[in-house]
Amino acid sequence: MTPAPLPARLNIPGGPLFFPVTAYGPDGSLDLDTYRTHVRRGVEAGAAAVFACCGTGEFHALTPEEFERCVQVAVEETAGRVPVVAGAGYGTALAVRYARVAYAADADGLLVLPPYLVLAGQEGLLRHYREVAAATPLPVIVYQRDNAVFTPETVVELARTEGVVGLKDGYGDLDLMQRIVSAVRTEVPGGFLYFNGLPTAEQTQLAYRAIGVTRYSSAVFCFAPEIALAFHRALETGDTATAHRLLDGFYRPFVELRAQGRGYAVALVKAGVRMRGLDVGEVRPPLHEPSEDHVKRLAQIIERGYALLEEGK
């Protein structure tokens, strides 16, 4: 692991946050060589960090042994150039186990996904994330979504918890997020990190940026890094013309296509990576592949996105 703390590294201006897909071979088994290539290309393209084995990486579909190997490969390929944050999840006992595996694999931090299945109260959620944070020295980013949605008061307590350094929002309630940011700023000054973690976060990033959430995950970076980087630069430089051109001509059509199938936030991304020349295999069950018509539409959207980049030159 690099000596620099994770929050400091994530505060360095850079590119989008890269959530690589997990590569599988024709028989459905893990393809570490292709995964290695995918991670390396992302880092070389300008990713600010690698979030390995998270939602886009099908954390839910990996065995602990596969998880360990993927995190190890991500750490090897980044070679300290950017931080590697590993996913962790399920119930508290398993989340702790995954956290310890990630720590042994030399990850730089954890993105802790919602606990499996149960609808817990705020007290139970707080206890869950505190136990995961206490399990290793790794900094923890808490992922708010689905059955893990927090009150501002709970996020204040999370921000006071040793080891918890940030909140990734995949819920999408901007009023709630504004109240969370305000409460933590008031009660726990000191640089708590926030991330926009909605699917295709670029679509909502202008709104998130207005409330102070400047970091975001980019699934598009997996298959169209030039488009993702152009949008990121537009945000950083205040180039609203470019941002709007890409939103209107690429991101909105992509989001509308993504809405045509459950699990497409992952399945379409893997299809896009294959389309761009790297065979990362299909998604594992219970996800399913996009229809043939949807794959054709994806190809048209990607083509249009690159054409928009040319128009802007």
Q: Which residues are catalytic?
A: 143, 168
* Residue written as token pair 């992952």: 266
Burial class (CB in 10 A: 0-12, 13-18, 19+), 150: buried
Sorted by sequence, the CB contacts under 8 Å of residue 138 that are 6+ apart come out as 99, 102, 103, 107, 108, 109, 110, 163
* Residue written as token pair 């009150």: 151
Distances 170 to 200, 235, 276 between C-alpha atoms, Å: 10, 20, 27
Report the candidate in 122, 116, 58, 64 with the shortest Cα–Cα distance to residue 90.
116
* Residue written as token pair 């817990």: 120
Please state, in angstroms and rounded to a whole number, the distance separating the CA atoms of residues 266 and 273: 11
Please state, in angstroms and rounded to a whole number, the distance separating the CA atoms of residues 153 and 132: 19
User: Reduced to 3 states, what is the DSSP secondary structure of residue 83?
Assistant: coil
Sorted by sequence, the CB contacts under 8 Å of residue 180 that are 6+ apart come out as 150, 152, 155, 167
* DSSP type of residue 191: -
Report the candidate in 36, 260, 172, 231 with the shortest Cα–Cα distance to residue 271.
260
Report the candidate in 155, 280, 265 with the shortest Cα–Cα distance to residue 201.
265
Please state, in angstroms and rounded to a whole number, the distance separating the CA atoms of residues 110 and 139: 6
Please state, in angstroms and rounded to a whole number, the distance separating the CA atoms of residues 289 and 270: 9
